[in-house]
Chain A
Amino acid sequence: MDTDSSDEELVVRYVTQRDEPAFTELVTRYREPVFRLAVSVLGPGFVGEAEEVAQEVFLRVHASLKSFRREAKFSSWVYRIAFNQALNVKARVRYRAPHLSYQALPELVAPDSNPHDTVQDLGRNQALAECIAQLPEVYQSALRLHYWLGHTVTEIATLLGVPENTVKSYLHRARRLLQALLEQKGYSDDGTH
């Protein structure tokens, strides 16, 4: 595996010599961030769809590498395709209820949990999920990348293709909007009913 070459060198090698290992290396580098970006757009209930988005992104990249303009960074180009593709899929699955991940089941039926607290937590988390779904797409994505997937502001800036200050502003505005939406639902800003 060629881990030393830059993305742009790998692109040139693939386009000019049809070097398949160069493309494989690009997929290896970007499959995880592309998937995480997709899942941040789609939300926690749509992990399977996010994986499908990641597949589609690489099929599209493979088909249009020749038309890739090298003045843009390869990573920015890939992330833009991923974000748009995830938005397209989200528009299709919007009205479908998310399925519960099997990984989440043990958390719901933890034997030592108090049933009253569990129900209260579920209600609160559901209210939060509904409020997040009302935010602009880019705010939703920034929130999930930061608070769910644990990405730093710098990493989010790279994934969304915006400056770090813009990400900080997205997060700040998203929190303020969430606060207002939660208050409308009767929750205080720390999540208590």
Chain B
Amino acid sequence: MNAQDVLFRTLADPTRRALFERLCREGEKTVGALTARAGVSQPVVSKHLGVLKQAGLVRDRHQGRETHYSAQLVALVPLVDWTREMAGFWESRFDDLEDLLKRMDQ
């Protein structure tokens, strides 16, 4: 699996995606703080955070007994690449569209 594959698989789960989005919006959080509003139990939250961490989407930091998690936006780069490729796709389609319009004149 490459980075893109891992990224989309990881974000496919709505609960996991919600955790990631919350870290993006609100910054660093402990597992406890995330659990309080996640609607699932702490072990489930921890499991999702583990998957996010493996995908490089979050980073953990240990402080005393607490583990703090933060979002790693750099992991979203493959998504940006995709967008760029899609834009390139449409640009080249539009080149062909313009060629077609020229031919339609004749």
| A and B: interacting chains | no
A residues at B contact (CB < 8 Å) = none
